[in-house]
Chain A
Amino acid sequence: MTTDVASPPSRQRTRRRGGGLLPAPGWGYLMIAPALVGLVALYVWPFLTTFGKSFMDVPAFGPGTFTGVDNYTDLLGDDRFWQALRNSALYTAILLLGVPLAIVLAALIEQVGRGRALYRVLFFLPVVTLPVAVSMVWRFIYNGDFGLLNYVLSLVGVPGQYWVADATFTIYAVGVVGIWMSLGINLIILGAGLQAIPQDLYEASSLDGAGRVRQFFRITLPLLSPSVFLVTVLTVISALQMFDLIFVMLRSVNNTALADSKTIVYLFYEKAFVEFDQGYGAAIAIVLLMVIMAATILQFRLQRRWVFYD
Chain B
Amino acid sequence: MTDQILRSRRTDRAANGSKASRHGEWVIHVVLTAAAVVMVAPFVWQLLTIFKSNREASQVPPTFLPEGPTTDAFATFFGSVPFWAQLTVSLSALVLRVIGQLTVSALAGYAFARLRFPGRRLLFGLFIAMLMVPSQLFLIGQFEIIRDFQLLDTVPALAIPGMFSAFGIFLMRQAFMSIPAGFEEAARLDGAGPLRTFWFVMLPMVRPTMAALAVLTSLYSWNDLLWPLIVTPRGDKRPLTVGLAGLQGQFGTDYPTLMAGALVASLPLILIFLVLQRQFFSGIASSGLKG
Contact = CB atoms under 8 A, between A and B. Distances in A.
Q: Say if A and B assemble together.
A: yes
B137 A47 contact: yes
Nearest to A203: B18
B116 A28 contact: yes
B102 to A, nearest CB: 11
A135 B167 CA distance: 27
A273 interface: yes
B144 A185 contact: no
Given A21-B116, A28-B115, A32-B112, A252 B248 contact: yes
Interface in A7-52: 8-11, 14-15, 19-25, 27-29, 31-32, 34-36, 38-39, 41-50
Nearest to B181: A20
A29 B57 CA distance: 60
Given A141-B42, A188-B281, A269 B226 contact: yes
Contacts of A73: none
A292 interface: yes
Given A35-B108, A140-B255, A195-B9, A130 B134 contact: no
Contacts of B288: 185, 189, 230-231, 234
B280 interface: yes
Contact of B141 (A38, A45, A129): A45
A253 B255 CA distance: 16
B103 interface: yes
A169 B57 CA distance: 23
Interface in B171-219: 174, 177-186, 188, 194-195, 198, 219
B61 interface: yes
A125 B46 CA distance: 14
A151 B270 CA distance: 29
B230 A273 contact: yes
Interface in A155-196: 180, 183, 185, 188-189, 191-192, 195-196
A53 B138 CA distance: 12
A145 B57 CA distance: 11
B252 interface: yes
Contacts of A109: 32
Contacts of B195: 27
Given A42-B161, A120-B281, A248 B136 contact: no
A308 interface: no
Interface in B267-291: 269-270, 272-274, 277, 280-281, 284-285, 288-290
Given A27-B195, A113-B17, A237-B290, A38 B163 contact: yes
Contacts of B179: 9, 14
A43 B45 contact: no
Contacts, number: 331
Given A1-B186, A130-B244, A9 B285 contact: no
Contacts of B140: 46, 49-50, 53, 272, 278, 281-282, 285
By size class, the interface of chain B is: 35 or more
Nearest to B286: A192
Interface string B113-157: 011111010010011001011111111111111000000000000
A268 to B, nearest CB: 6
B222 A130 contact: yes
Contact of B31 (A22, A47, A108): A108
Interface residues of A, number: 112
B202 to A, nearest CB: 11
A308 to B, nearest CB: 19
B110 interface: yes
B133 A24 contact: no
B116 A130 contact: no
Given A1-B182, A137-B43, A121 B277 contact: yes
A22 B194 contact: yes
B107 A31 contact: yes
A252 B249 contact: yes
Nearest to A123: B39
B117 A24 contact: yes
Contacts of B198: 31
B133 A241 contact: no
A218 to B, nearest CB: 19
A32 B213 CA distance: 18
Given A130-B269, A234-B290, A11 B178 contact: yes
A125 B274 CA distance: 9
B99 interface: no
Nearest to B90: A130
A9 B112 contact: no
Q: Which of A21, A42, A196, A244 has the most chain B CB atoms closer than 10 A to its own CB? A: A42
A243 interface: yes
A113 B244 contact: no
A241 B136 contact: yes
Contacts of A136: 244, 248, 258-259, 261-262
B241 interface: yes
B89 interface: no
A140 to B, nearest CB: 5
Given A137-B46, A188-B285, A234-B288, A39 B127 contact: yes
B25 to A, nearest CB: 6
Given A35-B105, A140-B49, A112 B25 contact: yes
Given A105-B32, A114-B16, A136-B262, 20 more contacts: A1-B186, A14-B177, A39-B164, A43-B138, A46-B139, A49-B144, A124-B280, A126-B39, A131-B241, A132-B245, A132-B262, A137-B262, A138-B42, A148-B62, A188-B281, A195-B8, A234-B290, A252-B249, A269-B226, A282-B140
